[in-house]
Structure 1
Amino acid sequence: MTSMQPLWWFALPLLLLPVWWHMRKRERTRTDLLATARFLPAATPQQQRMLRWSDVPLLLARLALLLALIAWLAVLAMPWKGDTVFVAASVERSAWAEQQIQSAGMGGAERQPLPDDAWHWLARHEHEWRPEARFLILAPATSAAAAMPALPPRLAHPVDLRIAPATPAAAAAVPAAERAPRARHIVVVAPAARMPQWQALFAAFGTAADGANRYILGDAPRPETELIVWDKADAAPPPDWKAQLWWRTGAAAGETHSPQGTIWSAAQWPLQDIEAARALYERWQAATARPAPYPLPAQQFSAARQKPLPAPLARSPEWLALALLALFAIERILTHARRRS
């Protein structure tokens, strides 16, 4: 059993409140006068105070209700999962994956799809696994789980990371969605007479690099827009337009930097010379290339923590909320029954 907000357990002394309430000092207020009392000397009445148990079922219900409330606020979680194998979709049905599972002695372990952000996902959810559970990760070298992280993973469970060898069969098993061309959003603002030329230029760019990129032309920037072509020498672009790179028509060719982005200027757009267009394309790709992650070698990570990390956004299980509701109903029923008695 794991608590994601353990500081709430410091509220356990509140359980003494119902005990004190049920064992509080009670005063005897009823007095009976005797006829012969007038012959006795006057004395101040003495009232006896005593501690005693009363309404034990109601006391137990209130203690259970308060304890359930503290457990619910502490985000109590019951770890129930055992050894688990996380398999990437591209190697799930391969003979290599079955061989690795058997060699790791996890043939009877549960299998789950490998999350995209595996290390952060495990850090947030590993409280669901029992302390003795083990993780086996099977992934290709191109997956996010195999990318070298900035810091070594620090989990509360041991992890065995195994990287699939790069084979033609593994490459063919990559889903079609992962092999689809990368969509790149471009904004082109130009006179209507030159728009067909810009469309032809980007269509030619789309055939480069074996069709790895697909260029989508628009007339207004979006958050994912990486290039804005402003082919209007007599007008300035809106000040709120921003992009990583601009192509603008200017008096002379050059590169400048502004709050709107990096600006490449040319006296005439679009470029008509094939070699100039090729050089522009190569320079553009080099300036906007995404860094390739350094692959993480296959290795075993031992448990680096005694307990899983606290999860501020975690929620207590539904059964605990239902128990809290049931105990509240029982406490109200017993309280009403005591008042009627």
Structure 2
Amino acid sequence: MTSLQPWWWAALPALLLPLWWHRQKRQRTAAELLATARFLPSSAPQQRRIWRWTDVLLLLARLLLLAALIAWLAVTVFPWRGDTVLLAPGLPADWVEREVAAAGMAHAERLVSELPPLDRLHRDEHEWRKDARILVLARTGTVPMPARPPRLAHAVTFRLAPAVSPPPPVHRVVVAAPAERLARWQALFKAFGSGGARYELVAAPDARTALIVWDRADPPPPAWRAPHWWRAGAMAGQRVPAAGLPLAYADTPQGRVWTGMPWPPRDETQALALYDAWQALAVAPASYPLPALALAPTGGVTPAGGSRAAWWPWLLAGLLFTERLLAHARRS
């Protein structure tokens, strides 16, 4: 349906209908011949149309209503944006001013976008005119590199500000262990925290829990869920030798259960091996960031239609109400 929507603009000649309608005499006066009229020469009656102010307003209201209806059906957004600077939130103001001045776009429109720049461009590229230039300013490492080079209909330049060191991540960990071994688990995660990450030990899992350490003989509660579990002993599953440890994992309804690790590690060597295996297997790899570059227009397909404005139905309703009000005033 979207590909056919621009064809509604072919209905614009329908605007001639109100003009033709208003040119016709809608009320015809009943004429009766007088008895003495037969002695007069016959002639065609001539009527003169006198327009009142209500006629002009009614004609304009009908033309606007019909044009608005056609535009609403066509859902075509005409490009209106010129040169634009697309900004990510939180950039240093002095760096932004330097990059804008270096690009010669001091008078360009500035837009702050919460969406990733490429997503915003693919969604709203139909808003820019054909000769518009787009400068994208973002942080280094925040724009992921797509698998294929972007195909855009406009010249787009990416400039990246220096990256800001993110705060260390916080991992919520549930440790269920007897009192005599709980202190060893606490010391273990405290040592893990020296690598930069923070580990917060809690009593029960929630939506942010990353790991559950189950160091008990009884089974865990069925309602407990976590992406990863550490369990004692060995179990059938996928073998993953890592950092000299015979690790194995199996996916269960409660999460991925890891076994084969020292329980708990007896010295710092085993603790380091367990930490390296945890970081290598449990942490998702980061995506490749997009570098600073300039993209020439590649003939990308510009979307033919945009989204309907939320106020458009109210405009149609207001025009219809105005047309009915003027039509009533014209008849009275």
CA-CA distance at 1:216 after TM superposition = 2.9
Aligned to 1:64: 64
Q: In structure 2, what is the Cα distance between the partners aligned to 1:254 and 1:161?
A: 44
CA-CA distance at 1:331 after TM superposition = 0.6
Q: Sequence identity of aligned pairs in percent?
A: 50
Which of these residues, 322, 326, 330, is aligned with residue 330 of structure 1?
322
Between stretches 150-159 and 259-268, larger displacement belongs to 259-268
CA contact (8 A) 1:4 1:75 kept: no
Aligned to 1:104: 103
Q: In structure 2, what is the Cα distance between the partners aligned to 1:279 and 1:64?
A: 75
Aligned to 1:41: none
Q: In structure 2, what is the Cα distance between the partners aligned to 1:115 and 1:4?
A: 31
In the superposition, the TM-score normalised over structure 2's length comes to 0.71
Q: In structure 2, what is the Cα distance between the partners aligned to 1:113 and 1:29?
A: 65
Q: RMSD in angstroms over aligned alpha carbons? A: 4.1
Q: Secondary structure at the match of 2:212?
A: strand
Aligned to 2:83: 83
Q: In structure 1, what is the Cα distance between the partners aligned to 2:112 and 2:60?
A: 45
Q: Secondary structure at the match of 1:246?
A: strand
CA contact (8 A) 2:82 2:133 kept: yes
Q: Secondary structure at the match of 2:94?
A: coil
Aligned to 1:202: 189
Aligned to 2:239: none
The total of aligned residue pairs comes to 303
Q: In structure 1, what is the Cα distance between the partners aligned to 2:323 and 2:27?
A: 25
CA-CA distance at 1:247 after TM superposition = 0.4
Q: In structure 2, what is the Cα distance between the partners aligned to 1:196 and 1:311?
A: 63
Q: Secondary structure at the match of 1:205?
A: helix
CA-CA distance at 1:334 after TM superposition = 1.1
- Say if 1:18 and 1:285 are closer, same or farther in 2 by CA, change over 3 A: same
1:281-296 correspondence to structure 2 within 5 Å: 281-296=275-290
Letter matched to residue 93 of structure 1: D
Q: In structure 2, what is the Cα distance between the partners aligned to 1:108 and 1:17?
A: 44
Letter matched to residue 214 of structure 1: R
Aligned to 1:234: 218
- Say if 1:231 and 1:90 are closer, same or farther in 2 by CA, change over 3 A: same
Aligned to 1:134: 133
Aligned to 1:244: 227
- Say if 1:109 and 1:12 are closer, same or farther in 2 by CA, change over 3 A: closer
Q: In structure 2, what is the Cα distance between the partners aligned to 1:72 and 1:304?
A: 31
Gap runs ≥5 in structure 2: 37-48, 236-245
In the superposition, the TM-score normalised over structure 1's length comes to 0.69
Which of these residues, 241, 264, 278, is aligned with residue 258 of structure 2?
264
CA-CA distance at 1:53 after TM superposition = 12
1:295-334 correspondence to structure 2 within 5 Å: 295-305=289-299, 308-309=302-303, 314-316=307-309, 318=311, 323-334=315-326
Summarize deviations over 1:116-143 as a string: whole Å, max 9, x none: 5111022223344333221123445x33
Letter matched to residue 228 of structure 2: L
Gap runs ≥5 in structure 1: 37-51, 165-169
Q: In structure 2, what is the Cα distance between the partners aligned to 1:87 and 1:303?
A: 20
